[in-house]
Amino acid sequence: MSRPSLFDLENHADFVQRHIGPTAEQQQEMARVLGYDSLDALIDDTVPAAIRRQVPMDLPPPRTEQSVIDHLRSLARQNVVNKSYIGTGYHDTYTPPVIQRNVLENPGWYTAYTPYQPEISQGRLEALLSFQQMIMDLTGMDLANASMLDEGTAAAEAMTLLQRVNKKNRSRLFIVAEDCHPQTIAVVKTRAAVLDIEVLVGDPEQLLATNEAFGMLLQYPGTHGHLRDVSPLIEQAHEAKTLVTVAADIMALLLVKSPGDLGADVVVGNSQRFGVPMGFGGPHAAYFATREAYKRSTPGRIIGVSIDRRGNQALRMAMQTREQHIRREKATSNICTAQALLAIMATFYAMYHGPQGLRRIAERIHRLTAIFAHGMAALDMDPGNAQFFDTLTFDVGDEQQAIVDRALASGVNLRILENGRLGVALDETTCAQDVEALWRIFSGKDDVPAAAALDANIDGYPGIPEALQRETDYLQHPLFNDYHSETEMLRYMRYLEDKDIALNRAMIPLGSCTMKLNATTEMLPVTWPEFAGLHPFAPADQTRGYQAMLEELDHMLLEATGYDAISMQPNAGSQGEYAGLLAIMRYHQSRGDHQRKVCLIPSSAHGTNPASAALAGMKVVIVECDERGNVDMDDLKLKAERHTEDLAAIMVTYPSTHGVFEESIIELCEVVHQHGGQVYVDGANLNALVGIAAPGKFGADVSHLNLHKTFCIPHGGGGPGMGPIGVGAHLQPFLPTNPVSPVPGLDTANDVVSAAPYGSASILPISWAYIALMGGEGLVEATKVAILNANYIAHRLQDHYPILYTGTTGNVAHECIVDIRPLKEASGVTEEDIAKRLIDYGFHAPTMSFPVAGTLMVEPTESESLFELDRFCDALIAIRQEIDAVQAGRLDAADNPLANAPHTLADVAASDWDHPYSRELAAYPVESLRRYKYWAPVNRVDNVYGDRNLFCACPAIDAYRETAD
């Protein structure tokens, strides 16, 4: 027998088998159970031959974890982490290590899903509710949502909200102050253009005097640092029935009057500098706050307080929970994945420091800025703005280049502005020596005063006029005052984490969401300073490591999708949809086809599809599905024919949201192309395709890829995500760019969909690492096993529950829909009862009532082991027996373990137990739970009560103390 060589031994990459749940023997056995000789035979019988790839992906073989880490380190070393004074909405910050290690680097937090199932999400719901409270306090508004994708998007959403709610002024004009951040202006302009909103950028006072506008956007302080009292402008606007958004700096709000006090109707901004690394652009949580009156128009997710069955306080996602799925193209926004994890980090930062600590940080930044200004004046360089919080702009004329050169030579980035100006924004990491270094850089002299010596000249808040100084308190709630010792902070975070089910506890079988392994190796680079510490507008020669990583990732994703070009800008699937549809619109316009605005969307589509189409200015026309769940080709042909003159696109998900590989996809693409339309394939289900079929090769023109589904970025409890788009060569010229840091190879006049050029760049190494670890063959195997696992579940469940849709050969794709409607009809047990009963069994429920009401959609992914698949199937089968018992009268029709699920520890430990079934059945319906039991912290949450009594702030202090005691 020949022994392996040293080379073989050293290059044995076992990651693929760590990522994939079932072993090779188990895969073989599972295929046999399904009636196939091999896994390949199952795949051949499941995936239509016509769409199969002919050529394998051109990707290297799998690599070891150590070699991938080494490679990423070498990329990281090519990035240069300068001290950044660039500002423009991004500032350096200290992430408290206790938060970095226990939240950002903790799978208990980062692998959780969006809290659609509130009973297993009370921890992150409490943290997000506190985020809302923090934003309300700091902005002075009545209501805040639980995060937005970035400040630019938030400002654009604010514009459309103002248009919706401003019934007194129906003009189509929107005024933007010229001192807003340039990337915000660009995102707003792109959004406005397709919605026929005219944007005027300039001096807001003049523009207001001469124009009738429905809304206006101001920046506070302005992008160049000027801090002005916006209240006279807001008053002037309100007199003209113009509503006002103020984009505000969260750190400045600790010292200056809140925009709410100054009369703002909406306040938006970025919470990044509350402890979240700049990350070359993201991810960070933007915020959105508004008046109570506009709450039903507010975009994004809002957490609300409700009660559970026992009347105890319980939190839930209010309103928006199913907003897009119900309102479709009339939805207020297309936002789905937002920035939950980062919102949670910013909130913990505020809890860790507390109101006094935060104020001290802001005061220190302001004082150093004042000292800096003072020293600059002594050097004969007065800032252009006498009023400021932390940012000053200097007119240095011809000296600009010399100063920039000196800065770069000492590892410092300044903001380079037109007309010989330079901007300097200080942050919490700036210290006295830094200020002295800045003086040397600006003056070119070695001999500068000691910063401390100038401190005596500073009195009060020199940059903040009396009238703008903040008088109102903030963050008085005990939540922001009880956790200042690290021990208490640590335990509070652990207390919240323990309430939730994340992937480190159990399978999360959410159809369409692809909750798979987020390997630790993949996560490591995210917090390396060379990836985390870069400003999105840092000079290109400092970001070579990122550029190289992006280029390699581009190549990897192009191989996986069969497209010709990629844009990394969209920071969620929904934004990818928007960016892709914009590219389609621009393409049509470039050919003179301005009338092509109809977007066909099958009735089974995800809610973001029609919502994004509406955002892109398209008209949605629904295509029906047939009784097998497939797109009804006759209806498609009819509608494509009818709209042959004005067809812009079709948006289809493949494999479909019904969990099957539709045979007709190629014909569908052909029909749409014949009628002049473009094909958008929603790539959320790419986990069923990678390596075996490529949308770019079977007829599609553009797709978004949810990197937080298929490519292992964790879901973070509702974000972050990344939604880059792949496009055919003909759409490449229409990909989005950035006004400050243009994307190479694109026209600088192109659209802008996110604030940063590469979206949430710092999480891209996760996907890079995943692909490198798996290699081409590993990715193919992952896809096959994802399909195997789904078919195995469908097979095990089919005698107990009907599987709603299958393909022509009786197989499903990578997920399956379990139909509860017939059972519900017969027994009265609902899909919700089953979802909640699964919690008693230790599981997160599958996707409920999407895409079909009254069903559960199960997606196991390749990462779940046979053990876990069986445990899950056993649970669902045991639940089916409970339903039988209800039907047969062995369990009470109303008072049974399904109707009362989930059961809390308090339920079963109470001295009074008056249910007609046992405590054992309630808590330990299967023996395996004796080994490990998850206890839901609340009983079933009352949605109706929550909707009727909408309350979206932290409960009053007394009530809070009571529950805490």
Residue nearest to ligand PLP as judged by C-beta position: 573
Q: How long, in residues, is the chain? A: 965
What is the amino acid identity at position 326? I
684 binds ligand PLP (CB under 6 A): yes
φ, ψ of residue 18 in degrees (nearest 5)? -80, -30
- Interface residue with ligand PLP among 320, 653, 741, 760 (CB under 6 A) is 653
Nearer to ligand PLP, 95 or 608 (CB): 608
Nearest to 702 by CA among 672, 664, 745: 672
Q: What is the spatial distance between Cα 742 and Cα 937, in angstroms, rounded to a whole number?
A: 49
Nearest to 449 by CA among 371, 533, 396, 382: 371
Q: Least distance to ligand PLP from the beta carbon of 437, Å? A: 42
What would the two tokens of residue 50 be? Answer: 């016509």
Nearer to ligand PLP, 262 or 684 (CB): 684
DSSP result, 569-593: --SSHHHHHHHHHHHHHHHHHHTT-
Q: Least distance to ligand PLP from the beta carbon of 373, Å? A: 43
Q: Least distance to ligand PLP from the beta carbon of 926, Å? A: 31
Nearer to ligand PLP, 622 or 921 (CB): 622
Q: Least distance to ligand PLP from the beta carbon of 706, Å? A: 5
Q: Least distance to ligand PLP from the beta carbon of 708, Å? A: 6
Q: Tell me, residue by residue from 422 to 451, as one string, x for binding to ligand PLP by CB under 6 A and - for no binding.
A: ------------------------------
Residue owning tokens 């790419």: 686
Q: Least distance to ligand PLP from the beta carbon of 337, Å? A: 3
Task: Provide, for the chain, the percentages of residues in helix, strand and coil under a 3-state DSSP scheme, each rounded to the nearest 5.
Answer: 45, 10, 45
Q: What is the spatial distance between Cα 515 and Cα 939, in angstroms, rounded to a whole number?
A: 25
Nearer to ligand PLP, 43 or 572 (CB): 572
Nearer to ligand PLP, 336 or 426 (CB): 336
Strands 302-307 and 816-819: unpaired
- Interface residue with ligand PLP among 82, 106, 117, 706 (CB under 6 A) is 706
Q: Tell me, residue by residue from 527 to 566, as one string, x for binding to ligand PLP by CB under 6 A and - for no binding.
A: ----------------------------------------
760 binds ligand PLP (CB under 6 A): no
Nearest to 68 by CA among 765, 870, 901: 765
Nearer to ligand PLP, 81 or 753 (CB): 753
Nearer to ligand PLP, 335 or 818 (CB): 335
Question: Is the N-terminal amide bond of 902 cis, ω within 30° of 0?
Answer: yes
What would the two tokens of residue 447 be? Answer: 């001999």
- Interface residue with ligand PLP among 91, 505, 606, 915 (CB under 6 A) is 606
Q: What is the spatial distance between Cα 675 and Cα 643, in angstroms, rounded to a whole number?
A: 8
Nearer to ligand PLP, 571 or 896 (CB): 571
Q: Least distance to ligand PLP from the beta carbon of 630, Å? A: 16
Nearer to ligand PLP, 369 or 687 (CB): 687
Q: What is the spatial distance between Cα 439 and Cα 433, in angstroms, rounded to a whole number?
A: 10
Q: Least distance to ligand PLP from the beta carbon of 267, Å? A: 24
721 binds ligand PLP (CB under 6 A): yes
- The count of residues interacting with ligand PLP (CB under 6 A) is 15
Strands 421-425 and 391-395: antiparallel
Q: 544-561 vs 764-797: helix axis angle to the nearest 10? A: 30
What would the two tokens of residue 964 be? Answer: 């805490």
Angle formed at CA 139 by CA 136 and CA 141, multiple of 5 degrees: 55
- Interface residue with ligand PLP among 320, 608, 738, 750 (CB under 6 A) is 608
- Interface residue with ligand PLP among 65, 427, 559, 682 (CB under 6 A) is 682
Q: Least distance to ligand PLP from the beta carbon of 605, Å? A: 7
Q: Are 395 and 380 in contact (CB under 8 A)?
A: no
What would the two tokens of residue 771 be? Answer: 């692909």
Q: Least distance to ligand PLP from the beta carbon of 286, Å? A: 15
- Interface residue with ligand PLP among 269, 299, 699, 723 (CB under 6 A) is 723
Nearer to ligand PLP, 571 or 939 (CB): 571
Q: 122-139 vs 340-378: helix axis angle to the nearest 10? A: 30
Site residues (CB under 6 A) for ligand PLP, limited to 323-362: 336-337
Q: What three-state secondary structure class fits 636?
A: helix
Site residues (CB under 6 A) for ligand PLP, limited to 9-48: none
What would the two tokens of residue 443 be? Answer: 């003056």
Nearer to ligand PLP, 207 or 725 (CB): 725
Question: Is the N-terminal amide bond of 720 cis, ω within 30° of 0?
Answer: yes
Q: Least distance to ligand PLP from the beta carbon of 845, Å? A: 16
Nearest to 705 by CA among 665, 764, 754, 748: 764
Q: Least distance to ligand PLP from the beta carbon of 812, Å? A: 16
Q: Least distance to ligand PLP from the beta carbon of 2, Å? A: 48
Site residues (CB under 6 A) for ligand PLP, limited to 564-583: 572-574
φ, ψ of residue 527 in degrees (nearest 5)? -100, 5
Q: 764-797 vs 24-33: helix axis angle to the nearest 10? A: 40
183 binds ligand PLP (CB under 6 A): no
Q: Are 151 and 289 in contact (CB under 8 A)?
A: no
286 binds ligand PLP (CB under 6 A): no
- Interface residue with ligand PLP among 132, 369, 630, 657 (CB under 6 A) is 657
Nearer to ligand PLP, 385 or 847 (CB): 847
Nearer to ligand PLP, 605 or 891 (CB): 605
Residue owning tokens 């480190």: 504
Dihedral angle sign, alpha carbons of residues 487, 488, 493, 496: positive
Could you list the residues that contact ligand PLP (CB under 6 A)? 336-337, 512, 572-574, 606, 608, 653, 657, 682, 684, 706, 721, 723
